[in-house]
Amino acid sequence: MNSRELTNQISKAADFLNLKKWDYGASFSNDYSVQVDKGEAKQLKASQKQILTLRVWNESNLVGITTTSDISESGIKKALNQANIASDFGNKNESTEFSPLAKDPIKVKDEKKRNPLGIKKLLTLLREAEVKLLESHESIKSVPYNGLSESFYERVYANSDGAFRSFTKSQAALYLYARAEEKDKKPRSSGSVKLGYGVNDIDIESCIKDASNKTISHLNYSSIKTDKYLICFSPESFLTIINAFSSIFNARSILDGISLSNKNSIGEKLSTEALNIYDDGLHEKNISSSPFDGEGTPTKRICLINKGRIENFLHSESTARVFKTIPTGHAGLGSKVSVSTDWIVVEKSDENFDLKTSLDHSTYEGEFVYIEELNAIHAGVRASQGSFSLPFDGWLYKNGTKISIESATVAGDIKYLLKHIVNIESNQEVTTSGVSPHIWVDELSITGDA
């Protein structure tokens, strides 16, 4: 069934059940993935998936919702019926409506859709990549986590008011995670992930090189003394921490009382004036971009922090009404509509005269800790309290040399961290979750074994 047909089916079924107001989001996907183990195919996977989320408004304008994978005529009727029953329990204290922007023009990037390469080709490419990675250094004994996948999907939003939008997309991903072992030393492990619109867009060689270099570079390690250190966050690790605390900018979280911000926080000084942060789902480097959100609102670039001050919050339709503004294109589609970031862009503002620009991770010779990658975010972040305590992979730089750090954690408070940024390097780097330069922060606690 194509998405126009599906919309007609839902419309007919809604008429039959006398349901006047409804909307839906759907996705249809075909995914293919391979894993290998020392040259042998390990698991080869293919999946065909469809998921339909239907919302129905009852006569009291309360909303009910149902999710189903059955899009047969009877499945659609059942889902509408169940959503109608669920609407009896709709939230009476916060109304939900169609997004006023659900029919606005959407900005679709150059789609760059690719055709499937097929499992056999994926397998050949991954086998070759594994061999090259294993051969790249004698200490690399295995690539325990690896995978090459390609996905083809369509996303749809439509409502009973005539809004209809859909887009189709292809995406591919390669990850290689190597494990190195040396006599009388603990094993070390590291990896790399690359995304593309299709497998042929992925720079496989650079993925192999990154995974190899990262793993090998950590072979000589030492424990670090528990203390407070000058820290340099890699672009990837800084984006990880900003995303972990994105409830600061999330209007839904603010209304729910779980954000560090409140309704009056617009204009609040959160960091050094040298910092700008944007959410830019349509950024040209964002492979996973979507032109509209779960409510059909167009995706757009929005400034979250401007010269250190909170400039905007992210909104769904209902939070936007409460805040007397417009939706920003960051909503999901649920019984309770969620809000989330798309693609964070961090940059140095033009108010950057107070930065210590001598702090450059490639040239600075004083002592500092370089945080390459933060781990276990789900366990170590207390977003509603602002605190974090996270294991990391990283380095101790001292007197012009660098030593890989054996297991350690970095702990602190997000507001302290943002206010103690002492340098924002000039070069922005693109990662799989956004864009950021290296960011320097003074005096964060590191716990090591020593």
Partner 1 sequence: MLSSQIKSNEIEFGSCNKYLLEEIIFYGMGLGADFVEIFIENTDNASVLAEEDYITSVSPSFGRGAGIRIFKDKRDGFVSTNDLSKHGLMRSVSQAIEMLDINDKNNKEVFNGLNKYRDYSLSKKTWIDEVPSINEISEKLLFSTKFLKKNNKIITRKGSYSRNLQEVIIASSDGTYASDIRLHQTVGLNVIASDAQYRSNGSRRFGSSGLPNEFRLWDHEKAANDVFESSMNMLYADYVEAGQMPVVLANKFGGVIFHEACGHLLETTQIERGTTPFENKLNEKIAHESVTAIDEGLSEGSFGSLSVDDEGMEPEKSVLIKDGILKKFISDRAGELRTGHKRTGSGRRQNYSFAAASRMRNTYIAKGEYSKEDLINSISDGLYCKSMGGGSVGATGQFNFAVEEGYLIKNGKLTNPVKGATLIGEAKEVMPKISMCGNDLELAPGFCGSISGSVNVTVGQPHIKVDSITVGGR
- Binding to partner 1 (CB under 8 A): which residues in 250-279? 256-258
Query: Which of these ranges, 98-106, 183-191, 233-241, 303-311, lies near partner 1 under the rule CB under 8 A?
Result: 183-191
> Site for partner 1 (CB under 8 A): which residue of 15, 115, 145, 203?
145
Shortest CB 110 distance to partner 1, Å? 31
189 touches partner 1 (CB under 8 A)? yes
386 touches partner 1 (CB under 8 A)? yes
Kind plus residue range of the DSSP H or E element containing 134: helix 119-135
Residues 22-51 that bind partner 1 (CB under 8 A): 37, 40-50
| DSSP string for residues in 212-235 | HHHHHHTSSEE---SEEEEEEE-H
Residue written as token pair 């702990």: 411
391 touches partner 1 (CB under 8 A)? yes
Shortest CB 64 distance to partner 1, Å? 7
206 touches partner 1 (CB under 8 A)? no
Phi then psi for residue 60, to 5 deg, are -90, 10
For residue 64, what are the β-bridge partners?
56
Do the beta carbons of residue 77 and residue 13 sit within 8 Å? yes
Shortest CB 116 distance to partner 1, Å? 12
Long-range contacts of range 377-386, CB-CB < 8 Å, 24 or more positions apart?
A: 377/240, 377/244, 380/409, 381/244, 381/245, 383/244, 383/245, 383/247, 383/253, 383/258, 383/260, 384/247, 384/258, 384/259, 384/260, 386/245, 386/260, 386/413, 386/414, 386/415
> Site for partner 1 (CB under 8 A): which residue of 5, 39, 411, 426?
411
Do the beta carbons of residue 206 and residue 133 sit within 8 Å? no
Of 126 and 344, CB closest to partner 1: 126
Of 289 and 318, CB closest to partner 1: 318
Q: How far is it, in rounded angstroms, from Cα 68 to Cα 51?
A: 6
How many residues lie near partner 1 (CB under 8 A)?
75
> Site for partner 1 (CB under 8 A): which residue of 384, 403, 428, 430?
384
> Site for partner 1 (CB under 8 A): which residue of 39, 187, 358, 398?
187
Among 227, 229, 275, 279, residue whose Cα is nearest residue 439: 275
449 touches partner 1 (CB under 8 A)? yes
Residues 48-107 that bind partner 1 (CB under 8 A): 48-50, 64-70, 75, 78-79, 82-86, 88-94
Q: How far is it, in rounded angstroms, from Cα 293 to Cα 331?
A: 6
Residues 295-324 that bind partner 1 (CB under 8 A): none
> Site for partner 1 (CB under 8 A): which residue of 20, 356, 382, 398?
382
332 touches partner 1 (CB under 8 A)? no
Shortest CB 317 distance to partner 1, Å? 16
Q: How far is it, in rounded angstroms, from Cα 182 to Cα 167?
A: 49
Of 37 and 111, CB closest to partner 1: 37
389 touches partner 1 (CB under 8 A)? yes
225 touches partner 1 (CB under 8 A)? no
Angstrom distances, CA of residue 136 to CA of 36, 143, 146: 17, 12, 16
Angstrom distances, CA of residue 64 to CA of 22, 70, 318, 395: 9, 18, 15, 51
